[in-house]
Amino acid sequence: MVPMLDQAGLPIAVFDSGVGGLTVLHELLVSLPGEDYVYFGDTARLPYGDRPAEELREFAIQIADHLLAGGAKLLVVACNSASAAALDAVRSHLARRGAGVDVIGVLGPAAQTAVAASRSGRIGLLATPATVASGAYERIVSLADPHVHLESVACPGLASIIEAGFPFDEHLVSTVRRYCAPLRAAEVDTVILGCTHFPLIAPMIQRVLGRGVTLVTSGPGVARSVERALAARSLLNPRRGEGSYRFACTGDPIAFQALGTRFLQMPLGEVAPVSLQVVARAAA
């Protein structure tokens, strides 16, 4: 067994379908600067938002195994679609392996923050089709407060537009207006940005919805959950200075680095290319 002090020195592993999860990593870097991090972007298989749940579970378990094989003390599934479809499956898989690693998703922290923030009990959700179809946010919100109404809007294509570099043109603006229209009609006072790509266009969404609507992202809540989970296991890194962070992706590392810098708002450095067996099967 690895000594507890050595385990505390292991990195926190974070993964997403692409660069969107870097918005979650940004919050972790700010909230827990002494920790080391490894980020994995499955860019060869994005977008996740239109894939079936069974496929997302396969991807998530494969990535979890890959990251833990490299050494990690906690796993963050920084993707709403993967969290909705695969969080329980990943936890069960790692428990059977005896990994002893906490797995934290993005849905619970965001939903709980939104319920606490809403004054009217009318909350909106902007998310991928896979996340909306799963009904996961509805279940979590209902458990937090059964009297809250959640107005869910699937946003096909929006994450892909952002992943491609999100040019701020009229097409993007009209797309955002179209997806926000049902939320305006429902008179929500709080909106969950249920895709980790969406915080990058939060100012545009805020303008369309109006300044009286509170936007909720998952990053701050995830950071709090990670800190509590590590503290409960005495795994917080005692380092006083800044930790390290490194990156890997299954697609083009140069493209990942160029776009990822805008999401992370910090230098990325080198991005390691990773080839997974399932990628080869999907491309065959």
Residue ranges per structural domain of the chain: 4-105+220-283, 108-217
CA dihedral (142, 144, 150, 152) positive or negative: negative
CB burial class (10 A; 0-12, 13-18, 19+) of residue 227? middle
Q: What is the pLDDT of residue 163?
A: 82
The rounded distance, in Å, linking the Cα atoms of 104 and 248 is 20
* Residue 57 DSSP SS3: helix
Neighbours of 261 (CB within 10 A): 15
**Distance separating alpha carbons of residues 112 and 108, to the nearest angstrom:** 6
What predicted TM-score, i.e. pTM, was given to this entire model?
0.92
Give dist(CA 259, CA 254) in Å, integer.
9
The amino acid at 197:
H
Rounded Cα–Cα distance for residues 118 and 110 (Å): 12
Residues serving a catalytic function are 79, 195
Please indicate whether the domains covering 4-105+220-283 and 108-217 agree at the CATH topology level.
Answer: yes
Residue ranges of the alpha helices (H) in 118-243? 129-134, 136-144, 158-163, 170-185, 202-209, 219-232
Q: What is the model's pLDDT at position 4?
A: 53
SS3 128: coil
Q: Report the CATH fold assignment for 108-217.
A: Rossmann fold (3.40.50)
Model pLDDT, residue 164: 81
Per-residue pLDDT of the chain (284 residues; tens, 9 = 90+): 454 558 999 999 999 999 999 999 999 999 999 999 999 999 999 899 989 999 999 999 999 999 999 999 999 999 999 999 999 999 999 999 999 999 999 999 999 999 999 999 999 999 999 999 999 999 999 999 999 999 999 999 999 888 887 677 888 999 999 999 999 999 999 999 999 999 999 999 999 999 999 999 999 999 999 999 999 999 999 999 999 999 999 999 999 999 999 889 888 989 999 998 644 333 33
Q: Fill in the DSSP letter of residue 94.
A: H
Fold topology of 4-105+220-283: Rossmann fold (3.40.50)
